Structure 1
């Protein structure tokens, strides 16, 4: 972005909002918005506490398990839907229904099925992430140029070689894009799941800080989650850019 001929880095917007937040907090307009300096200070104190470290361990474990299941199920299902029309006809309606449904409303049902524990959070992360992964993997496979597949067959390539060397590599950018968006949705899922369960991980901390009106730690924990989601997205996006040349034929 350029302003009056000068290049402004993207991080400048975050600095601007932090300054506005600090001013509003210092004006003491509303107790729900403490100064940004107080939130940052509370954040450094928060990460040194045993309660945050224990909650982080539970949250990371739930997130990793849920995302691993989402990727393990979503990528093969999306590829199968892109390659075989019968699979697409069977699962297409359900995938589109769940990707647009308010999944937060399903968490109370999951609590009945799986109890008030970590299993419910893992399933919530899975449900939030898997559908977008399926759709992007399906889109990537469906956009593979038929000419590449025909060329592989004309050179005598086996079905396995065509799948691994042509279809999978050509669809890889969309697959990684789906995983990147799935990671962000998974962070949302783990937070919503833990808040509604309210007895484990970050959900327990959010409940504690909101009840005691400890808004500095409440916002510090929220910003830590935002930073984690942005970092995960940036890591996957880095790998996306490195393999973009596989899609060049399109």
Structure 2
């Protein structure tokens, strides 16, 4: 970002919002917004408590299992949809429907099907993440130029070699982009699942802090979740940049 010919780092926007938050909190305009310094101090105390550590383990377990299943199912299904027309015709409507549907409305149904335990949260994470992974993997495979596949055939490459060395590598940027967006949606899914259904993990802490009006810890926990989502997204994005030349070659 450039302002009056001076390049300003993107992190400055976060600093500006933090200063504004601190000012609003110090003026005591809204009791729901405490000063940023109080939130940071509460966050440092929070991460040392056993309740936060136990909640983090529960939340991470549901998130990791849900995301792992979403990737294992989403990437192969998206690749198959991009390569086989009949599979695309069968699943295309359902994938697009679930991507655009308000998945939060399905959480009560999941509660009836799977009960009030971690299984419901695990399935919620999966449903929030898998559809965008499928769509991006499908888009990446469909954008592979036929000339690359034809070139592989001319050099005597087998079908498996063409699929693994040409199709998958060419579609890798879109596949990673889908996983990156899926990770962010998965964080949303694990929080919604824990708050609306199971009241475990971070959902239990959010419920506790909101009922007791402990807004310092409430906002501290929110910022921790935002930071985790941003770090996950940045890690995948960094890996994306390392394989950008595949898209360029394509």
Normalised to the residue count of structure 2, the TM-score between the two structures is: 0.99
Cα shift at 1:199: 2.4
Q: Does 2:191 match 1:191?
A: yes
Q: Does 2:104 match 1:107?
A: no
Cα shift at 1:232: 0.1
Aligned-partner Cα distance in 2 for 1:248–1:148: 13
Q: Deviations over 1:19-66 (max 9, x none)?
A: 000000011111100000000000000000000000000000000000
RMSD: 0.6
Contact 2:121-2:198 within 8 A present in 1 as well: no
Alignment of 1:1-250 (within 5 A): 1-250=1-250
Contact 1:69-1:126 within 8 A present in 2 as well: yes
Residues 214, 198 of structure 1: CA spacing in aligned structure 2 closer, same or farther, 3 A cutoff? farther
Which structure 2 residue ranges, 5 or more long, are not aligned?
Answer: none
Contact 1:198-1:207 within 8 A present in 2 as well: no
Aligned-partner Cα distance in 2 for 1:47–1:152: 54
| Runs of 4+, deviation exceeding 3 Å | none
Contact 1:99-1:131 within 8 A present in 2 as well: yes
Cα shift at 1:4: 1.8
Cα shift at 1:5: 1.8
Aligned-partner Cα distance in 2 for 1:161–1:197: 46
Cα shift at 1:197: 1.8
Cα shift at 1:7: 1.2
Cα shift at 1:198: 4.5
Cα shift at 1:3: 1.4
Aligned-partner Cα distance in 2 for 1:199–1:190: 11
Cα shift at 1:249: 2.9
Q: Deviations over 1:105-139 (max 9, x none)?
A: 00011011101010000000000000000000000
Aligned-partner Cα distance in 1 for 2:94–2:198: 29
Residues 33, 198 of structure 1: CA spacing in aligned structure 2 closer, same or farther, 3 A cutoff? farther
Q: How many residues align?
A: 250
Aligned-partner Cα distance in 2 for 1:88–1:4: 50
Normalised to the residue count of structure 1, the TM-score between the two structures is: 0.99
Instruction: Give the SS at the match of 2:9.
Output: coil
Aligned-partner Cα distance in 2 for 1:217–1:185: 23
Contact 1:78-1:134 within 8 A present in 2 as well: yes
